[in-house]
Amino acid sequence: MLIAQRLALGFLVLFVVSLIIAAGVDALPGDLCQEMQGQGATVETLKACREEIGLDKSLPVRYVEWLGGMLKGDFGTSLANGREISELIGTRLQNTFFLAILAALISVPLALVLGVLAALYRNGIYDRAVNVVTLSSISFPEFFIAYILILFFSVNLGWFPSLSNISPEMSIAEKAYKSLLPALTLTLVVVAHMMRMTRASIINLLASPYIEMATLKGMTRRRIIVKHALPNAWAPIVNVVVLNLAYLIVGVVIVEVVFVYPGLGELMVDSVRKRDIPVVQACATIFAATYILLNMTADILSIITNPRMLHPK
């Protein structure tokens, strides 16, 4: 019931997002034909171009046409180069998910372990050091972290390639090897947030009576935190982890540009720049759906991990 209601609301949100994107891209100065022809545009060629791709029709008409196609599962074709959007997006979507999964596999366990350790040795040297390092790592812009990693791991040490131009015919291992630097960059970007939340939610629980009880029973601090505090701290942690996963999927434009990684983010930015509305729409829909699904997962997970929330007063 809850899930059905959330799904329905999710579709509503998707619909509004697509409206906003259509209106937003349309409100941008210039249109696809001007962007495609650049300095070479003339009145005549612009007119021909607009007629050919249907830009002479009004925005509502184009939107309804797009929506009709979408409901039938047809993404349409790119206005800029006439390619099928589903084909254009296919491999890029896989690549985006691949990178997100790789980054998540590294960052989530790392953040949890660091966070638990920081809570365990809170206010000690270790805690401070982890805090300084992770806080510094999020204060550097993404592209800058990427440059530094490239400098060390590919220019100086030569361990990893500086370009992650993966292609579908590569094996998973080869893809993972080539995508490791972008995944590490993303790890550095998201790990601090997750680690701090893990630490904070555990420490938050340490004042609870049942923890005190466990302490009085003479349990070790390590055992208290892992066995008693952590299970109860899951809800906020899961929330932050899921939000960061969403970021790993939708927020990686810059990392894609720096590592020449063929993902969905760059496709979307390119398409916004060229005003290719159907492609922007398709990307925005995918991103929004990802976000909504992950958000829902977070809610459901926190309900599952916390039975009290299953039966609200």
Partner 1 sequence: MNEIQRLQKKFEAGRISRREFISRATAIGAAAAVPGSLFSGPAAAAPKKGGHFKLGLGQGSTTDSLDPATYLDTYMQTIGNAVYSYVAVVDNNGDIAPDLAESIEPSPDAKVWTAKIRKGVEFHDGKPVTPEDVIATYQYHMGEESKSAAKSLLAAVTDMKVDGDNVVFTLSAGNADFPYIMTDYHLGILPTKDGKPVDPTSGIGSGGYAVETYDPGVKSILKRNPNYYNDDNAHFDSIESLVIKDVAARTTALTTGEIHAMNRCDLKTVHLLKRQKGLQVIQTTGTQHYSMPMITKQAPFDDNNIRMALKHAIDRETIVKTVLRGYGQVGNDHPIGPSQKYFNKDLPQRAYDPDKARYYLKQAGLDSLKIDLSAADAAFAGAVDTAVLFKEHAAKAGIDVNVIREPDDGYWSNVWMNKPFCMCYWGGRPTEDWMFTTAYAAGAEWNDSFWSNDRFNELLLAARAELDESKRRTMYYEMQEIVSNEGGVMVPMFASYVMAASDKIGMPKLAANWDMDGLRAMMRWWMV
Partner 2 sequence: MTDNKDTLGQTADAVAPPPPRKRRLSDTLKALRKAPLSAKFGLVVIVFYVVMAIFAPVLTPFGESEIVSNEYEPWGVEVAHETAGGGSETVTLMLGTDNLGRDMLTRLLYGARNTIGIALLTTCLAFLLGGVGGILAATLGGWPDQILSRIIDVLMAIPALIFALLLLTIFGTSVTTLVLVIAVLDSTRVFRLARAVSLNVVVMDFIEAARLRGEGLGWITLREILPNIMPPLVAEFGLRFCFVFLTIASLSFLGLGLQPPTADWGSMVRDNATLITYGDITPLLPAAAIALLTVGVNFVVDWFLHKTSGLRDDQ
The amino acid at 271 = S
Q: Which does 38 bind (CB under 5 to 8 A by kind): partner 2, partner 1, none?
A: partner 1
Q: Decide: is 27 part of the binding site for partner 1 (CB under 8 A).
A: no
- The contact pattern for partner 1, residues 87-126, with x = CB under 8 A and - = no contact, is -x--------------------------------------
Site size toward partner 2 (CB under 8 A) is 53
Going residue by residue from 40 to 79, which x/- string records binding to partner 1, judged by CB under 8 A?
xxxxxxx-xx-xx-------------------------x-
Residue 3 in the binding site for partner 2 (CB under 8 A): no
Residue 288 touches which member of partner 1, partner 2, none, C-beta under 5-8 Å by kind? partner 2
Q: Which of residues 190-209 bind partner 2 (CB under 8 A)?
A: 193, 196, 200, 203-204, 207
272-311 residues in contact with partner 1 (CB under 8 A) are: 272-274, 276, 279
Q: How many Å apart are CA 54 and CA 70, to the nearest integer? A: 17
The label of the residue with tokens 């609301």 reads: 9
Q: Give me the least distance between CB of 182 and partner 1, in Å please.
A: 11
Q: Which does 232 bind (CB under 5 to 8 A by kind): partner 1, partner 2, none?
A: none
**Residue numbers at the binding site for partner 2 (CB under 8 A):** 9, 12-14, 16-17, 20-21, 24-25, 27-29, 123, 128, 131-132, 135-136, 138-144, 147-148, 150-151, 155, 193, 196, 200, 203-204, 207, 250-251, 253-254, 257, 265, 268-269, 272, 284, 287-288, 291-292, 295, 313
